[in-house]
Amino acid sequence: MILKSYRYTNEVILEHLSEQIIQSDTLEALEKLRIDIFGKKGVLATEFAKLKDIPAMEKKAFAEGLNRHKETLQNSFDAKFDMLQNEAIEQRLKSDFIDVSLYSSLAKKGALHPVMETMDKIIEYFVAMNFSIESGPMVEDDFHNFEALNLPKHHPARDMQDTFYFRDGHLLRTHTSPVQIRRMLETKPPIRMIAPGSVFRRDYDLTHTPMFHQVEGLVVEEKGKVSFANLKSILNDFLKSMFGDVEIRFRPSFFPFTEPSAEVDISCIFCKGKGCRVCSHTGWLEVLGCGIVDPNVFKAVGYKEVSGYAFGLGVERFAMLMHQIPDLRSLFEGDIRLLEQFR
């Protein structure tokens, strides 16, 4: 495109190019225009080349005019370029479209067992209350499991706990209480401990499994420091932390290792105390046993002038109530149909 006259810049061509920029609809076409206009051999270069032939007095006006044109072209080019580039990105993004709803079930995490998860919650409460965690062996002897807990041989209360025995006279612990005895034998008071763990009783039916889990608690301080009122206080708080806003009822009961003893009920969480099948229409659910440590237990571990309380609960019972699990035995069968609900 060679201009015939130097007097005038080629307005027609420049305007036409401007029009072409506006009308180009691909980045490729625009690139071609860029070379035609702004390239080394482009229109603008040709126009500016005329400058050297233009008389001095007209030079300034010519240059000014040309620069104006250049600026206009540049602006419209930039605007078009941005527009087309954005369109291209948008296009590419659109081509990446996926139906996200197809993928919602892809993520998979395993489940923590509801019994263990419940045990975690119980443990966390007592750890926050500055209790220590203690553990002990599952295979126990008569002394730690019974004798030291004021359950002498032939005591009728031993019938309450049908025991697994070994040929050498050892047994599987029937409760986590022997951990109390071990702890007391190895250390001096004060003691504030819980003992979570599995326990074993020879019982197998709809509501009993030969293995289940307990959390045992024990507090020992010097004589006169620990009272039944203290026990009530912490258990009230604990049960509310586990079950929310429930009513709590203490009933006198009997355990060989505590005296006075009590069983603790919460108002039924299913019927709010009105009476339903789960609570046998009583409005109450029994959830734990507790009491002031029997002096015979302290005697057995050689403690003198002390006072203390103890409590114990079944973790499966808590888990079944908290999660409305209907079948105890399903908890020990690795049944994914149950477990996957806790993922």
User: Rule CB under 8 A: which of 286-315 touch another protein?
Assistant: 292, 294-295, 307
Please confirm whether the linkage preceding 252 is cis (ω < 30° from 0).
no
Contact indicator for 295, 301 with CB cutoff of 8 Å: no
Does position 166 interact with another protein (CB under 8 A)? The reply is yes
Does position 190 interact with another protein (CB under 8 A)? The reply is yes
Give the nearest distance from C-beta 312 to another protein in angstroms: 15
Cβ neighbors of 22 (< 8 A, separation 6 or more) are 76, 80
Give the nearest distance from C-beta 107 to another protein in angstroms: 9
Q: Give the number of other Cβ atoms within 10 Å of residue 211's Cβ.
A: 13
Q: Which is nearer to another protein, 73 or 193 (CB)?
A: 193
For helices 11-23 and 56-95, angle between their N-to-C axes, nearest 10 degrees: 10
Does position 327 interact with another protein (CB under 8 A)? The reply is no
Q: Which is nearer to another protein, 36 or 247 (CB)?
A: 247
CA dist 283 and 171 (Å) reads 37
For another protein, which stretch binds (CB under 8 A), given 21-29, 43-51, 151-159, 269-277? 151-159
Does position 329 interact with another protein (CB under 8 A)? The reply is no
CA dist 240 and 242 (Å) reads 5
DSSP characters for 192-243?
Answer: EEEEEEEEE-S--BTTB-SEEEEEEEEEEEETTS--HHHHHHHHHHHHHHHH
Give the nearest distance from C-beta 135 to another protein in angstroms: 4
Give the nearest distance from C-beta 174 to another protein in angstroms: 13
Q: Hey, what's the torsion of the CAs at 181, 199, 232, 264, to 10 degrees?
A: -140
Residue from 2, 56, 92, 204 touching another protein (CB under 8 A): that is: 204
Q: How many residues would you count in the chain?
A: 343
Give the nearest distance from C-beta 320 to another protein in angstroms: 14
- CA angle (218 as vertex; 199, 143 as ends), nearest 5: 55
Q: Which is nearer to another protein, 207 or 233 (CB)?
A: 233
β-bridge mates for residue 261, sequence order = 253, 291
Of residues 20 through 79, those in contact with another protein by CB under 8 A are: none
Q: 139, 29, 123, 126: which is closest to 84 by C-alpha?
A: 29
Give the nearest distance from C-beta 159 to another protein in angstroms: 7
Of residues 245 through 284, those in contact with another protein by CB under 8 A are: 249-254, 256, 259-263, 280, 282
Does position 236 interact with another protein (CB under 8 A)? The reply is yes
Q: Which is nearer to another protein, 52 or 109 (CB)?
A: 109
Of residues 210 through 229, those in contact with another protein by CB under 8 A are: 210-211, 219, 221, 223-229
Does position 130 interact with another protein (CB under 8 A)? The reply is yes
Does position 234 interact with another protein (CB under 8 A)? The reply is yes
Of residues 90 through 129, those in contact with another protein by CB under 8 A are: 102-103, 105-106, 108-113, 115-116, 120, 123, 127
Q: Which is nearer to another protein, 45 or 211 (CB)?
A: 211
Contact indicator for 221, 306 with CB cutoff of 8 Å: yes
